[in-house]
Amino acid sequence: MIGHILERGVIFKLWEALKDIDVEIMHCEVSFAALKAGIEEKMPSVMRFYIVGKKEDREKAIEVVKKVAEDTECRIDYIKETY
């Protein structure tokens, strides 16, 4: 996910939206090129993570992630399904 992750509270919104789906977000990393530019929303940050759970639960979670990204004006850069 790419956007203003910290400034717009994406992590907390994602947690809230996913708390009733039986998945876990694993290896979650947020990175940004420069602290000041990121906080001032001049430069986006990147959040990488894995969604772990049963296939049907992961599919539900992916839809939720897409909605949170849309609501926070972020974008999904890449989704890869592995079994």
- How would you classify the pairing of strands 2-3 and 23-31? unpaired
Taking the C-alpha atoms of residue 36 and residue 41, their distance in angstroms, rounded to an integer, is: 9
Domain residue spans of the chain: 2-71
DSSP β-bridge partners for residue 56: none
Per-residue pLDDT of the chain (83 residues; tens, 9 = 90+): 999 998 899 999 999 999 999 999 999 999 987 777 767 777 889 999 999 999 999 999 999 999 999 999 999 988 787 76
For residues 66 and 35, give the distance between their C-alpha atoms in angstroms, rounded to a whole number.
Answer: 26
pTM: 0.84
